[in-house]
A and B are shown apart, each in its own frame.
Chain A
Amino acid sequence: SQQGEEDPQALSIQEGENATMNCSYKTSINNLQWYRQNSGRGLVHLILIRSNEREKHSGRLRVTLDTSKKSSSLLITASRAADTASYFCATARLMGAQKLVFGQGTRLTINP
C-alpha cells in the first residue's frame, strides 16, 4: 500500500505566488524528505525533516511536520518559473530507515 499521498495532484499558480503541497503518510517514521523532479529527469533532494522536528527552512522552502496527523507540507515562497516540476514526499520508516517510500507527487506549474 502507498505510504505517502500528496495533494493536490496538480497545482498551477502565477509567478511570485506561494505554492503549498501536502503529504500524508500511514506508518511511524524516522524522517520525511521532499524531492523535486524536472520532467524526464532524476529526483533532487530538497529538504529532510526528522520526526522530532516540527518545522524546517531552506531558502524559499518551508517544511512542516505533524506526526500526530501523519502529515507534512511543503511551502515554496515567491515562486519562479524554474520551480515548475513535480514534487515528491518520501518517508523513512522507523524500522528500515534505509528505504524510502515515495508519494505520488504534486505537479507544480508556475505561469509567467
Chain B
Amino acid sequence: EADIYQTPRYLVIGTGKKITLECSQTMGHDKMYWYQQDPGMELHLIHYSYGVNSTEKGDLSSESTVSRIRTEHFPLTLESARPSHTSQYLCASSDQGFKAGGPYNEQFFGPGTRLTVL
C-alpha cells in the first residue's frame, strides 16, 4: 500500500547527540518536505526537495541538514541536538501535476516524529 513513513515516532535524547529522523514514501513522489511544528502551532517549512540530489532550505531557519540520494528517502539530521530543537517534525511528499480542471499539489504527511532533547 502506498504510504509515507517516519521513524522513530518518539525520541528522547540528551544534549549534544547526533540524530537522524527517517522519512520514506512508497508513492514515487518527486517532491518531499520537512516541517517543524510546536504543539498547537502552525507548520514551518524547514527543508524541501524536488528530486534526487536536490535540496533547499525552507522558510524557517534550521540547524538540521537533509539529503536526497534516493527518490523514496529523505532523512533529516541534527549533528548536535539542543533543547531548542524539541518539537514535532513532520515529513510530507507530493506529486504535483495536472488533473481535469487544473494543477494539483496536495501533500501527503507522515505521522511525525516527536523529538525531546533534554
A99 CA to B111 CA in the complex, in Å?
20
Q: Kindly state the separation between the CA atoms of A86 and B111 in the bound complex, as whole angstroms.
A: 15
Q: Which residues of A contact B33 (CB under 8 A)?
A: 99
Q: Are the C-beta atoms of A100 and B112 separated by less than 8 Å? A: no
How far, in whole Å, are A82 and B40 apart by their CA atoms in the complex? 19
Judge whether B42 and A102 touch: CB under 8 Å: yes
B7–chain A nearest beta-carbon distance, Å: 13
In the complex, what's the smallest C-beta–C-beta distance from A10 to chain B, in angstroms?
Answer: 9
Query: Chain B residues with Cβ under 8 A from A90's Cβ?
Result: 107
B41 x A42 contact (CB < 8 A): no
Interface SS of A by simple majority: strand
The distance from the CB of B111 to the nearest CB of chain A, in whole angstroms, is 5
Which listed residue, A30, A33, A88, touches B103 by the CB 8 Å rule?
A: A30
Judging by beta carbons under 8 Å apart, are B105 and A92 in contact?
Answer: yes
Q: Which of B65-73, B78-86, B94-102 contacts A (4 or more CB under 8 A)?
A: B94-102
CB contact list, B42-62 vs A, under 8 A? 42-43, 45, 48, 50, 58-59
B105 touches A101 (CB 8 A): no
Verify if B63 is at the interface (C-beta below 8 Å from A): no
Is A97 touching B109 in the complex (CB atoms < 8 A)? no
**CB neighbours of B48 from chain A (8 A):** 98-99
**B68 to chain A: closest CB distance in Å?**
14
Using a CB-CB cutoff of 8 Å, which residues 23-69 of chain A contact chain B? 30-31, 33, 35, 40-45, 48, 50, 52
- What are the residues of chain A within 8 A of B102 when measuring CB–CB? 31, 50, 52
The 18 listed contacts between A and B (C-beta, < 8 Å) are A2-B42, A31-B102, A35-B109, A42-B90, A42-B92, A43-B43, A43-B90, A43-B109, A44-B109, A45-B108, A50-B101, A52-B102, A88-B43, A98-B96, A99-B48, A101-B45, A104-B42, A105-B42
Binding site for B on A (CB under 8 A): 2, 4, 30-31, 33, 35, 40-45, 48, 50, 52, 86, 88, 90, 92, 97-105, 107
